[in-house]
Amino acid sequence: MPSKPNTGAEMASLTIGQAAAQSGVSAKMLRHYESLGLLGAVARTASGYRLYGQRDVHALRFIRRARDLGFSMAQIAELMQLWRDRSRRSAEVKRIAQRHLDELDQRLAQLQAMRRTLQDLAQCCRGDERPDCPILDDLAQG
């Protein structure tokens, strides 16, 4: 569910550069998040320039923190919808976080396996002037 456009309670007065600086998100990413519907309707000046309010900056900080934790854009959209829904069930939030944690655990296990394999191959390679190399042999075997 998109956020409400800025209205009387919160005057939109920040330029895209100011909102980007306050949120820690680049102007390019800010426009991207807006295009994905994560910010909802953004106020514009008569000449078409975007104007942002503190609510938008807060949402951008939310997005940035979620990205820092590795959540996908789809997961962030779900989390933002739940964040804005005061009648939400925390069980839904936990389900998303747990699913992401499980995915991270799988990726970590894959990375650890890759590291062990590469470490073994590097130890087997003499690293001298001779052309034979177990690393290249392994890569060639696919």
What's the token pair of residue 19?
């909102």
Tell whether 34 is covered by a domain. Answer: yes
Task: Mark whether 10 and 67 lie in a shared domain.
Answer: yes
Tell whether 82 is covered by a domain. Answer: no
Tell whether 101 is covered by a domain. Answer: yes
Q: Name the pLDDT band for 3 (thresholds 50, 70, 90).
A: very low
**CATH classification of the domain holding 58:** 1.10.1660.10
Structural domain span for residue 46: 1-71
9 Cβ partners below 8 Å, 6+ apart?
none
Q: How many domains does the chain have?
A: 2
Res 2: pLDDT:
44
**Is 103 in contact with 96 (CB distance < 8 Å)?**
no
Residue 103 has pLDDT above 70, yes or no: yes
Res 10: pLDDT:
59
Task: Mark whether 21 and 67 lie in a shared domain.
Answer: yes
Residue 7 has pLDDT above 80, yes or no: no
Task: Mark whether 64 and 105 lie in a shared domain.
Answer: no
Tell whether 76 is covered by a domain. Answer: no
How many Cβ atoms sit within 10 Å of the Cβ of residue 1?
Answer: 11
Task: Report, as an integer, the average pLDDT of 63-71.
Answer: 97
What's the token pair of residue 15?
């330029």
Task: Report, as an integer, the average pLDDT of 7-22.
Answer: 80
The 10s digit of each residue's pLDDT in 29-64 is: 999 999 999 998 888 899 989 999 999 999 999 999
Task: Report, as an integer, the average pLDDT of 118-138.
Answer: 93
